[in-house]
Amino acid sequence: MSASLTVLVPAYNEGEGLREFQRRTLAVLDGLALSTRILYVDDGSSDDTWSVMGDLARADARVGVLKLSRNFGKELALTAGLDHCDSDAVIILDADLQDPPELIPQFVARWQQGADVVAGQRLERHGESWLKRATASAFYRVMASLASTPVPRDTGDFRLMSRRAVDALCGMRERQRFMKGLFAWVGFRQEALIYQREARFAGRSKFSYWRLWNLALEGITSFSTLPLRVATYVGVLTSLAAFGFASWIVAKTLLWGESVAGYPSLMSVMLFLGGVQLMALGIIGEYLGRLYMESKQRPLYLVDVHAPAHGSASTTVDAD
């Protein structure tokens, strides 16, 4: 039996572009000497994505579909998809054709040469604003200096993973999921494949700056406790400075006496300390909040409908 490959496609309101996606992807898969499948994950879309997926699944027996009960976000849509793949390798592809399916054979070749993870690394970002490029670059720099497992630069979710890498990833059931970090954490033999990221085929990006900022916070807090330590150091430094300043005031008063003055200095010290305390509390709060969410042990996502690809056999639809 030949090795199997699943192309995993998370989609949220991508109805417009999916047909073109399937046309291009199947054309590539046809040329591979593997048993191939496509698994679409509908992440609670509000447009016609789900009905388009239904059509696409009917049109080709290699296509399976999974519908989540609501919009859980790309990270969880990916997790759901990976949980429902049983092939020897999985390739994650965005539905918007920003990651060209024509590169799949190159990924597969690297995998067949023994790589466990082949990650697409963006050479240039076409169709993305200057601001997005600058913020993304800043983020990778911060992550590199904070996190204990460095996140490779400019690698998105476009990647191929071997069975054991997928299994390792599926073993991590944390709710605050920062996939880029988890991918890196898994380890094994990881390789980068440089490619040009295209502009979107249709629709628009689902990631607003606010969402990206929150994703960045998620990344930092799930892979580093350094901010907590920074809060400690800032506290220690401020106490030392305060101690020095207090000694100086006592000495000054003893030596020269004190006429009541110093409202400005009093005020600035008070405000400064107040600010430092609030900041430290905020940092602790960020971590505590995540601990709280984690402690609830809710399921990561809920599946509405799962209709796996059925090859040439009859359709099976199970709702769970």
Which residues of the chain form contacts with Mg ion (CB under 5 A)?
A: 94, 96, 98
> Of 13 and 221, which has the nearer Cβ to Mg ion?
13
Does position 94 interact with ligand UDP (CB under 6 A)? The reply is yes
Does position 16 interact with ligand UDP (CB under 6 A)? The reply is no
Ramachandran region of residue 206, left (φ > 0), alpha (ψ -120 to 50) or beta? alpha
> Of 94 and 116, which has the nearer Cβ to Mg ion?
94
- DSSP letter string, 183-248: HHHH-SSEEEEEEEEPPPSSS--S--HHHHHHHHHHHHHHH--HHHHHHHHHHHHHHHHHHHHHHH
Does position 84 interact with ligand UDP (CB under 6 A)? The reply is no
Task: Pick one of ligand UDP, Mg ion, none as the site partner of residue 42 (Cβ within 5 to 8 A by kind).
Answer: none
Distance CA 137, CA 144 (A): 11
| Least distance in angstroms from the C-beta of 153 to ligand UDP | 15
Determine contact, residues 235/276, Cβ cutoff 8 Å.
yes
Which of 96, 116, 154, 218 touches ligand UDP by CB under 6 A? 96
Strand 117-125 vs strand 155-162: parallel, antiparallel, or unpaired? antiparallel
Tokens of 17: 């572009």
> Of 11 and 309, which has the nearer Cβ to Mg ion?
11
> Of 11 and 65, which has the nearer Cβ to Mg ion?
11
Does position 95 interact with ligand UDP (CB under 6 A)? The reply is yes
| Least distance in angstroms from the C-beta of 11 to ligand UDP | 4
Residue keyed to tokens 């799930």: 222
Distance CA 147, CA 143 (A): 6
Does position 77 interact with ligand UDP (CB under 6 A)? The reply is yes
Determine contact, residues 239/269, Cβ cutoff 8 Å.
no
Determine contact, residues 90/160, Cβ cutoff 8 Å.
yes
Task: Pick one of Mg ion, ligand UDP, none as the site partner of residue 248 (Cβ within 5 to 8 A by kind).
Answer: none
Site for ligand UDP in 203-222 (CB under 6 A): 205-207
Tokens of 170: 């599926």
Task: Pick one of Mg ion, ligand UDP, none as the site partner of residue 95 (Cβ within 5 to 8 A by kind).
Answer: ligand UDP
Cα angle 181, 186, 187; round to 5 = 110
> Of 98 and 121, which has the nearer Cβ to Mg ion?
98
- DSSP letter string, 70-89: S---HHHHHHHHHHT--SSE
Site for ligand UDP in 20-49 (CB under 6 A): 43
How many residues bind ligand UDP (CB under 6 A)? The answer is 16
| Least distance in angstroms from the C-beta of 25 to Mg ion | 15
> Of 94 and 154, which has the nearer Cβ to Mg ion?
94
Residue keyed to tokens 């040469």: 113
Query: Which residues form the interface with ligand UDP (CB under 6 A)?
Result: 10-12, 14, 43, 71, 73-74, 77, 94-96, 98, 205-207
